[in-house]
Structure 1
Amino acid sequence: MHDAILKFEKILNENVSYFPVLNNEILEAKVPGKWSKKEILGHLVDSALHNLVRFTEINYAEKPYQHRPYNQIDLVNLNDYQSMDINELIQLWFVLNKQIVRIMKSVDDEVLDYKIVLSDKTVIDLKFLMTDYVEHLEHHVNQIKS
């Protein structure tokens, strides 16, 4: 878990100051059927919100924890990240993820083993979900940077 947390912190610290220097035209450029870079960042906000709830709820919810999916496309559209002020969007993304880092640092090994049942009935553990969250974040940050 230690390596995932270090990677996570590096991604956050490198990009909180990088994203604001991107040109608004680049951030808001749209290709039909695809999210803009700004909307990808908004998707990362939605992901952070849902995973923050998951990472905390698992501590007191009935076991095994039932993973609830969310409609990513609808959330990006409903939250209208495309027209949101980029600095506010970056702050929201950064602060939510800093809280997730704090949660990840505080989790003990026993909790990392808690079982999670996905909607397709696949069973994973919290450690996998947290590590996968960092990989997901890295993937989308790389899309924004490309």
Structure 2
Amino acid sequence: MELLENISSHTLKLLHELEDILKNINENTVLTKRNMQGRTVKQIVGHLVDSASNNTHRVIHLQYQESPLIFPDYANLGVNDKWIAIQNYNNYNWKDLVQLMKYTNIHITNVIKNIDMSKLQNKWISALGNQYTLEEMIIDYPVHFKLHLDEIKELIPK
């Protein structure tokens, strides 16, 4: 239980840090600054929505479906860029997008806190054929979030 609480609280801490940064950002900056993948800040924030949503589904499916689970993998093979393009995050209302990112991530922290501990070794098979346990996935979630938080911090003028 402590593991789940720690992951949830760490993710919430990162989320609050990101929210504070995004509240005060100029909309021109979110549309023009790009990371090494060519994504704007708006697209990175949209990607964080997709990540929270997709991982929420994975976490839930891994608790009641047979393991190992083959579940659609949006993060590999360039599919996450298709998600970003199809949802047209650059034209999304900025304040709404920030709120959507905030609340999808609050939701996944709640889902993580409530994982059945007996399911932590259930496995998911990625599109690349790699197997990951539910525990590995949730441990990686704040690491992935921080990677994008750090990207955004680099793109924002001080």
In the superposition, the TM-score normalised over structure 1's length comes to: 0.91
Instruction: Name the aligned partner's letter for residue 135 of structure 1.
Output: V
Instruction: Name the aligned partner's letter for residue 48 of structure 1.
Output: A
- Please tell me whether the aligned partners of residues 20 and 86 of structure 1 are also in contact (alpha carbons under 8 angstroms): no
Change (3 A) 1:33 1:15: closer
Residue of 98, 108, 124 corresponding to 2:116: 108
Aligned residue pairs total 146
CA offset at residue 33 of structure 1? Answer: 5.9
Matches within 5 A, 1:41-52: 41-52=45-56
CA offset at residue 6 of structure 1? Answer: 2.4
| 1:24 aligned partner | 27
Residue of 5, 12, 17 corresponding to 1:9: 12
Matches within 5 A, 1:1-146: 1=3, 2-31=5-34, 34-70=38-74, 71-146=79-154
CA offset at residue 91 of structure 1? Answer: 0.8
CA offset at residue 67 of structure 1? Answer: 3.5
Secondary structure at 2:127 match in 1: coil
Partner Cα separation in structure 2 for residue 7 and residue 33 of structure 1: 26
Instruction: Name the aligned partner's letter for residue 26 of structure 1.
Output: T
**Identity %, equivalent residues:** 25
Change (3 A) 1:93 1:33: closer
Instruction: Name the aligned partner's letter for residue 94 of structure 2.
Output: I
In the superposition, the TM-score normalised over structure 2's length comes to: 0.84
Unaligned runs of 5+ in 1: none
More deviation in 42-51 or 110-119? 110-119
CA offset at residue 27 of structure 1? Answer: 0.8
Per-residue displacement from partner, 1:21-77 (whole Å, max 9, x unpaired)? 111121111559601111111111111111111111112222212142121111111
* C-alpha RMSD of the superposition: 1.7
CA offset at residue 19 of structure 1? Answer: 0.6
- Please tell me whether the aligned partners of residues 9 and 109 of structure 2 are also in contact (alpha carbons under 8 angstroms): no
